């Protein structure tokens, strides 16, 4: 569920960051302010607002509503990380590609996207951790039979801590430590490369 949410958020968040950085349109400032609201609004408020919206439009709660709510939640995190990466890039490279005959889509795919990849990956990792860890939004938007890992852990821990929860905790901590180690190793290797 978190992976699906992050993949959708990665595409939409990258396009949103590029669109906000590169284009001018009416209401841009308002859209920018509204798009970053999930960063500052508490999770409980997002969860209640999402539930009220889904009830108002008559959309039945399911696994897809959890994914949609998490996409909205994660979108801002990916967009802000990608936009900070985008601010450091030289726009002349895109213009040079366009001058050499590339279409705007080719310039985006072959010039801009490879440069944005570290920011996209960073945003995706942040969004994945936040989405996987989220309990409130998932519990408010889950339908019958739809459950996430935090919801399952919460339902099992109410009856007492069992060995399977302990084992799961060890696996999650080990996987997180391994990812952090790999990320630091790759960062060290990239900094050690001769320029």
Are 75 and 13 in contact, with CB atoms under 8 Å apart?
yes
DSSP per position, 129-172: HHHHH--HHHHHH--TT---HHHHHHHHHTT---HHHHHHHHHH
Query: What tokens were used for 126?
Result: 């942040």
Which DSSP symbol is given to 35?
H
Check residue 169 and give its pLDDT: 83
Q: Does the pLDDT at position 10 exceed 90?
A: yes
Looking at domain 2-145, its CATH superfamily turns out to be MetI-like (1.10.3720.10)
Q: How sure is the predictor about 13, in pLDDT bands with cuts at 50, 70 and 90?
A: very high
Average pLDDT over the chain reads 86
Our measurement of the distance from residue 185's CA atom to the centroid of its chain's CA atoms, rounded to an integer in Å, reads 23
Residues 97-130 pLDDT 10s: 888 888 888 988 998 898 888 889 888 888 888 8
pLDDT at site 186? 72
The domain segmentation of the chain, as residue ranges, is 2-145, 161-195
Beta-carbon contacts of residue 9 (< 8 Å; ≥ 6 apart): 70, 71, 74, 75, 77, 78, 124, 127
Instruction: Return the minimum-mean-pLDDT range out of 78-87, 117-126, 180-189.
Output: 180-189
- Do residues 76 and 12 lie in contact, with contact meaning Cβ atoms separated by under 8 Å? no
List, for residues 16-47, the tens digit of each pLDDT value. Answer: 999 888 888 898 888 888 888 888 888 899 89
State what percent of residues in the chain have pLDDT above 70: 97
Buried b (16+ CB within 10 A) or exposed e, 97-119: beeeebeeeebbeebbeeebeeb
What is the predicted pLDDT for the residue at 48? 92
In this prediction, residue 144 has a pLDDT band, given cuts at 50, 70 and 90, of confident
């Amino acid at each position: 569920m978190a992976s699906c949410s992050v993949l959708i958020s990665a595409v939409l968040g990258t396009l949103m960051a590029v669109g906000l950085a590169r284009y001018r349109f009416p209401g841009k400032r308002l859209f920018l302010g509204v798009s970053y609201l999930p960063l500052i609004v508490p999770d409980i408020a997002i969860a209640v607002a999402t539930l009220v919206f889904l009830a108002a439009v008559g959309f039945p709660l399911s696994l897809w509503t959890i994914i949609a709510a998490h996409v909205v939640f994660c979108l801002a995190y990916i967009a802000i990380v990608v936009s900070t990466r985008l601010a450091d890039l030289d726009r002349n490279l895109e213009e040079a590609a366009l001058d050499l005959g590339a279409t705007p889509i080719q310039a985006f795919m072959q010039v801009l996207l490879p440069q944005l990849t570290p920011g996209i990956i960073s945003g995706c990792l942040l969004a994945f951790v936040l989405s996987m860890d989220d309990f409130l939004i998932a519990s408010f938007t889950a339908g019958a039979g739809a459950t996430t890992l935090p919801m399952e852990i919460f339902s099992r821990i109410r009856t007492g801590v069992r060995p399977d929860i302990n084992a799961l905790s060890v696996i999650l901590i080990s996987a997180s430590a391994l990812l952090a180690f790999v990320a630091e190793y790759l960062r060290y290797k990239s900094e050690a490369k001769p320029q």
